[in-house]
Amino acid sequence: MRQGWKFLSLGAALTLVLAAVPMMGTANASSDSEANDEVVETVKKKTRLRQFTGYVTLIDDERFTVEKRTKKKTRSKSFAMHDEMRVRGDLVEDAKVTVYYRTLGKRAVAHRVVVKLPPVEDSEE
């Protein structure tokens, strides 16, 4: 007889929970906006600014290429330019630069470019 009461009370509790679920969706509309905020924060974390340092090898109207030269290998990366991109210094070929970029899909989009100035040599005459 005890087992029957367990199943009956379990069924009643399950019925109450299932009846309360649709009411919770309308009562907690603010929790939906909080969930959206969490999704936005996750996207921002995934699209953080990354950096790549090297020498400019090609400049085009829409993109430029930077090559990182090491002793064993060279690695080049192409970046898309846009109107809001900030450039500190003159972006010319063979200039050493640090590019701060985000990867959107398969494209690397430059957001900030810092041109490193060559060391000034003292000329003694």
pTM reported for the whole predicted model: 0.59
Structure tokens, 61: 């109207």
- Alpha-carbon distance of 90 to 86, in angstroms, equals 11
Q: What is the arithmetic mean of pLDDT over 20-25?
A: 62
pLDDT at 12: 74
Q: Which domain holds residue 97?
A: 50-116
Q: Would residue 94 count as lying in a domain?
A: yes
Residue 55 has which token pair?
């020498």
Whether 96 is in a domain gets the answer: yes
Q: Is residue 57, in this structure, part of any structural domain at all?
A: yes
Q: Considering its fold, how many domains does the chain have in total?
A: 1
81 in a domain, yes or no?
Answer: yes
Residue 66 lies in a domain: yes
Residue 21 lies in a domain: no
Give the CATH number for residue 68: 2.40.50.320
pLDDT tens-place string over residues 61-70: 899 999 998 8
